[in-house]
Chains A and B, each alone.
Chain A
């Protein structure tokens, strides 16, 4: 339970969930998986960006600005997917006290916040030529902004405790409250927006996405999703190694 527990202690055997609570086993597996995440992520993203910037045609309504979508849309998907993973990791850490889930929740936070920020920034860049303004209090923009605040609150909270275990627990409870509250926030913001701004600018009437615009989007989505998990895995490995080094140094200091 406390931070001084040696990380090499054996978890109870036979349960699938706890197999990877062994940091050594996790590190070996993660090291093997990492290249299969990193390199395809780079390749797919690069192919998608090249396809999106040079090969696909400009949209007949949006012109070249449509190319922002190739980053914006995957970022938006990853932002919500990231919070869902954060909540899932928090649930596992609260219910099964899984040490890796604690670390996963801590490490998913900043990556999720980064994609959420990317989503907001690209949305703003797209909004300037399309809507003529950097920011609109549109329902989706507003709920993504609140999501960004939830990420930031979690990131600050888990790092605000001297005892990391306390931070994991507090962060997990907060993430679960947020996960329950998030659909309500989304709903309330949608409702607020439709009642307050009936003439909000939407893309209604735009044709469903044409195939020539779709394939680069599929590539960047695949690439960025793999990239998200590549970064999370790399951060997780670094966090496990950091804990290992800290406990080794602690043991050395205790022996000296």
Chain B
């Protein structure tokens, strides 16, 4: 457990020191979402209809951006070997990395999603549901992304491969998340969608760090 906390502290310190890298994903989130009104037209009804989907897709894509360097930097400079031989289980290291990714990328995305959804004419009443869904969904994405980042470690064109691997696996997140927001917008209860999203998170919570740990051990062999 000490290793978990130490890894988490290290990741957070690194994220603070490299503030620019941390904010890049957030900036991408804003820029990408701004393209949709420009491409589709500023009509408030159309925008309100597509707002949850746009926010969700842009959040998924921007959460992918930092994954490439999640283990990549440590792998290149040898720090990963030190982490693996430190005695902390590889899956715990992966879990710490996933938590750090969520705190550094998922949480800011969540904060940025509220003004963005408002700009896309989403009704304020359905905002809490969108944000709850995003909170669960970005956590799932951090976990799935950690596993995929560990799997592609050392691969050629790993950064291109990563989204191709993660996005099909993340389709349930997108579906449950957007449906919860849609249900709230049409006055239905978003509860089943959010519960399913929570169930998916509960399944990923133990499984993804395990898979990531196995992949990390294979990478430093």
Contacts and interface: CB of A to CB of B under 8 A. Distances in A.
Contacts, number: 87
Interface stretch (B68-76, B127-135, B148-156): B148-156
A169 B217 CA distance: 10
B211 to A, nearest CB: 5
Interface residues of B, number: 32
Contacts of A185: 168-169, 171-172
A189 B158 contact: no
Interface string B134-174: 00000000001001100110111110010011011101100
A160 interface: yes
B207 interface: yes
A181 interface: yes
A188 B175 contact: yes
Given A160-B152, A160-B157, A174 B165 contact: yes
B104 interface: no
The majority secondary structure among interface residues of chain B is helix
A55 interface: no
A170 B147 contact: no
A237 B89 CA distance: 38
Contacts of A153: 161, 164-165, 168
Given A153-B164, A157-B151, A195-B179, A173 B211 contact: yes
Contact of B171 (A156, A189, A195): A189
Interface in B43-91: none
Contact of B156 (A146, A160, A181, A188): A160
Contacts of A170: 151-152, 155, 215, 218
Given A146-B168, A177-B169, A177-B211, A157 B155 contact: yes
A181 B215 CA distance: 18
B30 interface: no
Categorize the interface residue count of chain A: 20 to 34
A161 B171 contact: no
A191 B175 contact: yes
Given A180-B207, A191-B175, A174 B164 contact: no
A141 to B, nearest CB: 14
A150 B161 contact: no
A193 B171 CA distance: 13
Nearest to A195: B179
Contacts of A195: 179
A83 to B, nearest CB: 12
B172 A184 contact: yes
Contacts of A192: 175, 179
Nearest to B215: A173
A166 interface: yes
A96 interface: no
A192 B174 CA distance: 10
16 contacts: A157-B161, A160-B152, A161-B155, A166-B154, A170-B152, A170-B215, A174-B148, A176-B211, A177-B144, A180-B207, A181-B172, A184-B172, A184-B200, A187-B172, A188-B171, A188-B172
Given A163-B154, A166-B219, A174-B148, 17 more contacts: A173-B211, A173-B214, A173-B215, A174-B165, A177-B169, A177-B207, A177-B208, A180-B203, A180-B207, A184-B172, A184-B200, A184-B203, A185-B172, A187-B172, A188-B175, A191-B179, A192-B179
Q: Which 3 A-B pairs have the closest CB atoms?
A: A160-B155, A188-B172, A149-B168
